[in-house]
């Protein structure tokens, strides 16, 4: 079944209809995610952190004093990365993360957010909220809840 919505087709200059509503929805989702992510990355440039680094700092802030090991951080990320160790290395080199080896098992390394990392997140809080509002504020609260619910259902159905 071919769909007739010209929105995405016009945006990507595709003359042929999509093969299915599922294909159109998938491509709309990917295009929207890329557009929002690009704008979010631009908004973070002045803080000299990427969206992935920002995500890790928020995860570690939420973990509290106990911190987390690399695998736990990666499991909680919005988009897990193949080399979380290097990501943590970069954040540690900038003073935003502290890592400690456990005395009992030297292979186990716990990462914690540093005071500088907490200060950075505090400075970013309002600008990031304003960025989210600029990106999605034109949708009503019920529409945003519906969008979130649909996206969660899509993820649940993808295996």
In a domain, 35, yes or no: no
Q: Is residue 8 part of a domain?
A: no
Q: What is the CATH number of the domain that holds 105?
A: 1.10.10.10
Find the domain containing 83 and state its range.
48-121
| Domain count within the chain | 1
Within a domain: residue 105?
yes
- pLDDT 10s digits, 16-31: 888 999 998 999 999 9
Confidence label for 12 from pLDDT (cuts 50, 70 and 90): confident
The runs of H, that is alpha helices, within the chain are 6-11, 21-44, 51-63, 70-76, 84-93, 115-136, 141-157
Is residue 19 situated within a structural domain? Answer: no
Looking at residue 13, the DSSP 8-state letter turns out to be: T
158 is a domain residue: no
In-domain check, residue 64: yes
pLDDT digits (tens, 9 = 90+) for 70-117: 999 999 999 989 888 999 999 999 999 999 987 676 667 899 999 999
**Residue 10, domain member (yes or no):** no
């Amino acid at each position: 079944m071919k769909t007739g919505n010209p929105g995405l087709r016009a945006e990507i200059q595709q003359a042929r209809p999509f093969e299915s509503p599922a294909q159109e929805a998938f491509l709309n989702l990917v295009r929207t995610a890329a557009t929002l992510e690009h704008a979010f990355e631009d908004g973070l440039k002045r803080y000299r952190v990427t969206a992935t680094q920002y995500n890790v700092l928020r995860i570690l802030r939420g973990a509290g004093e106990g911190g987390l090991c690399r695998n736990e951080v990666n499991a909680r990320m919005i988009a897990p990365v193949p080399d979380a160790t290097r990501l943590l290395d970069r954040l540690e080199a900038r003073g935003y993360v502290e890592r400690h080896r456990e005395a009992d098992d030297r292979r186990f390394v716990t990462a914690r957010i540093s005071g500088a990392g907490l200060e950075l997140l505090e400075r970013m809080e309002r600008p990031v909220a304003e960025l989210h509002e600029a990106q999605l504020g034109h949708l009503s609260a019920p529409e945003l809840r519906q969008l979130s619910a649909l996206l969660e259902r899509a993820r649940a159905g993808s295996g």
